[in-house]
Chain A
Amino acid sequence: MRDVYVAGIGITTFTRLEFALSEIASYASMMALKDAGITEVDQVYVANMGAPRVNHQTALASAVVDSLSLTPAGAAAIENGPASGGSAIKAGFQAVASGMDDVVLVVGVERMREVNGLEATDFIATLTHPIAEYIYGVTLPAHAAMFTRLYMDKYGVTERHLAMVGVKNQNAALNNEWAHLQQEISLEGILDSPEAMTNNPYVAEPLRFFDACPVSDGGAAIILVSEEKAKELGRPMIKISGVGQATDTHAVHEREEPTDLLAVRKAAADAFEMAGLTPDDVDVAELHDAFTILEIAESEEVGFFPKGEGHLALERGDTALGGKIPINVGGGLKGRGHPVGATGVAQAWEIVTQLRGDGGDRQVEDASVGFTCNFGGFGNNVVCLTFEKEA
């Protein structure tokens, strides 16, 4: 298997975007192509979840590859729920590692604000089990809420811990010009003051408004290349050293221990094993905080902290910029936004930015090993990646 490097990255602002879906994908892609200094690729993978349903568009990859004048390169869309981005990176990795392609563009994109919030919630809810979950009115916030309650009862996580994750990540987004939320929040404003319950109402008890990521439009792109091509292009040598993907039961109630996220555990362990790294080697991590509880739970399952102690690490400041293992320093899904298909690629974008030392006010000092966890379904399809900077 050949080594695979990231030679270019690009991103759009995550917000409500009044552009066609393929244009959003193309903007991010153009930045990545320019960053890498190339105008041709062998293959394009487009990560997207909602085009057919939300944007009434199918065969999105054909639109994107032509819009970028990259024809006759191969092109395909990858739909894998909220893990579409990570899955497309994995496909691109395999294409380069196998020797089949030398240059692959991976772009993730979503335009969810084309419909109203309730319809967007319903669109995401269609990833749940059709008969055992969806028909009951289950939404992703509902799944996260039921998971949170179990976590609270078992491990002593409180609403304050959840709010601390929200404050940390939303305020981190202030250092990221591409992030959706650009408003500073405080524990006082969303938890402690008399107005807090008005500012921060329940979405699905015990989760509140500020425990959930926003509904965003946006795109993110990376260029994957072989070692030979990477050296030729002369960009910083950022290697994807580990790739892990794992699945779990479709219906959440079928899991033996409902507080375990076994797919996260296995995907992370596989990525670390492939890279020859351990969780302690990681300098900066992007975890899939679609809901605040997920950052806490994933920080345990990927191996940064013992099970049940993620909230204690949060209290100690271990996960903040300057802490032992800074998590979501670019805002995470909570602050950056969560255009579903784009998220896994945006996580890679942030890690590459960090490993290049281009993080500005959010730069993690001397970052040379990065990690991403892209969480699909409610934990039923997860992709983890490790990134390493080479001298």
Chain B
Amino acid sequence: MAREIYAYKCRLCDTMHYPFRMVCKNCKQNDFFEFDTVPLPRDGKLLTFTRVYNLPPQYEVPTLGLGIVELENGMRMLGQLDIDEPKAGMAVKGSVEVVREETYDDFYGMVFRSA
């Protein structure tokens, strides 16, 4: 099964959240985990970005691209960028891949490339 990153839709008022939160930020009534999971879209446009040179010790790469993407449904998320020359507003497409490796764990997240 393909890996997905999920948004959380409140069953009481349909508000979408990413990341997960325990109480709906809109209706504030949802205090019993009544959320449906909806896969986040992969297509979006790049809002802002950076290339980081001083990375935490777990990263064995010289630099890392990061950005905030506005997805096609209007939600936003942060992800890694595999783009040589990113530009604000460019179309990007995400793929769920390993974004951090630790001794006994691999962490999956969204990596964006030019669409």
Taking Cβ atoms with an 8 Å cutoff, the residues of A that contact B are 117-119, 121-122, 125, 129, 131-133, 135-139, 141-142, 145-147, 149-150, 153, 201-207, 251-254, 258
Contacts of A119 in B (CB 8 A): 56-57
* Residues of chain A within 8 A of B77, CB atoms compared: 132, 253
Given A121-B54, A136-B79, 4 further pairs, Cβ under 8 A: A118-B55, A118-B56, A138-B78, A139-B54
B52 interface residue (CB < 8 Å to A) = yes
A interface footprint on B48-89 (CB within 8 Å = 1, 0 otherwise): 111111111111000010111000000011111000000010
- When distances are taken between beta carbons in the complex, the residues of chain A under 8 Å from B80 are 136-137
Bound Cα distance A121, B64 (Å): 15
Contacts of B52 in A (CB 8 A): 137, 139, 141-142, 145, 203-204
Q: Judge whether B33 is part of the interface by a CB distance below 8 angstroms.
A: no
Known: A142-B66, A258-B68. A133 touches B55 (CB 8 A): no
Q: Which residue of B lies closest to A118 (CB)?
A: B57
Give the interface centre of B48, B55, B64 by most chain A CB atoms within 10 Å.
B48
Given contacts A252-B78, A253-B77, contact A136 B99 (CB under 8 A): yes
Residues from chain A with Cβ under 8 Å of B57 in the complex = 118-119, 122
Q: How far is the CA of A190 from the CA of B31 in the complex (A)?
A: 52
By the criterion CB–CB under 8 Å, are B51 and A205 in contact? yes
Closest chain A CB from B90 CB (angstroms): 13
User: B64 → chain A, closest Cβ, in Å?
Assistant: 5
How far apart sit A297 and B80, CA to CA, in the bound complex (Å)?
A: 26
Jot down 7 A-B pairs with beta carbons below 8 A, ordered by A: A122-B58, A132-B77, A137-B58, A138-B78, A139-B56, A142-B50, A202-B53
**Most chain B C-beta atoms within 10 Å of own C-beta, residue among A141, A146, A153:** A146
Which residues of B in the span 96-111 have a Cβ within 8 Å of any Cβ on A?
99-100, 107, 109
Query: Interface of B with A (CB < 8 Å)?
Result: 18-20, 47-59, 64, 66-68, 76-80, 88, 99-100, 107, 109
Q: Which residue of B lies closest to A131 (CB)?
A: B19
Q: For A136, A149, A252, A254, which residue has the most chain B Cβ atoms within 10 angstroms?
A: A136
- A146 adjacent to B99 (CB under 8 Å): no
A138 neighbours in B (Cβ, 8 Å): 66, 78
Q: For the complex, would chain B's binding face be called helix, strand, loop or mixed by DSSP majority?
A: strand
Contacting residue for B88 out of A121, A137, A142, A153, CB 8 A: A153
CB distance from A221 to the nearest CB of B (A): 31
- In the bound assembly, the distance between CA atoms of A121 and B20 in angstroms comes to 26
- The reply to whether B54 and A135 form a contact with Cβ atoms under 8 Å apart is no
Most buried by B among A129, A149, A150: A149
Docked pose: A122 CA to B76 CA in angstroms: 24
Question: Chain A residues with Cβ under 8 A from B66's Cβ?
Answer: 136-138, 142, 146
Cβ contact within 8 Å between A204 and B78: no
Chain B residue nearest to A259 (CB atoms) is B48
A11 to B80 alpha-carbon distance, docked (Å): 41
Residues of the B chain whose Cβ atoms lie less than 8 Å from the Cβ of A202 = 51, 53
Q: Are B88 and A129 neighbours in the complex by a CB distance under 8 Å?
A: no
CB pair B78–A133 under 8 Å, yes or no, is yes
**Contact across chains for B51 and A253 when beta carbons are under 8 A apart:** no
B54 touches A117 (CB 8 A): yes
A129-B56 contact in complex given A135-B99, A146-B50, A253-B78, C-beta closer than 8 Å? no
Q: Given the known A-B contacts A149-B49, A153-B88, are A135 and B109 also in contact in the complex, defined by CB atoms under 8 Å?
A: yes
Closest to B17 in A: A254
A129 to B17, CA, bound (A): 14
> In the complex, are the beta carbons of A149 and B88 less than 8 A apart?
yes
Smallest Cβ distance from B89 to chain A, in angstroms? 9
Closest A residue to B50 by CB, please name it: A145
- Given A149-B49, A149-B50: A136 and B109 within 8 A (CB)? yes
- Contact check, A118 vs B54: say whether CB atoms are below 8 A apart: yes
Pick the most buried of B51, B55, B56: most chain A CB atoms within 10 A of its CB: B56
Q: Report whether B64 and A137 are in contact in the complex, using a CB–CB cutoff of 8 Å.
A: yes
When chains A and B are docked, how far (Å) is the Cα of A119 from the Cα of B107? 19
Q: Taking CB as reference atom, which chain A residue is nearest B79?
A: A136
Using A142-B66, A149-B88, A253-B78 as known contacts, say yes or no to A132 and B19 having CB atoms under 8 A apart: yes
CA distance A132 to B79 in the complex (A): 8
Task: Give A142 to B56 CA distance when docked, in angstroms.
Answer: 12
| Bound-state Cα–Cα, A117 to B57, Å | 10
Q: Determine the chain A residues whose CB is within 8 A of the CB of B99 once the complex forms.
A: 135-137
Evaluate contact between A204 and B54: CB separation under 8 angstroms. Answer: yes
B76 touching A253 by the CB < 8 A rule? yes
- Report the separation of the CA atoms of residues A132 and B88 in the bound assembly, to the nearest whole angstrom: 21
User: Which of B19, B20, B49 interacts with A146 by CB under 8 Å?
Assistant: B49
Nearest A-chain residue to B56, judged by Cβ: A122
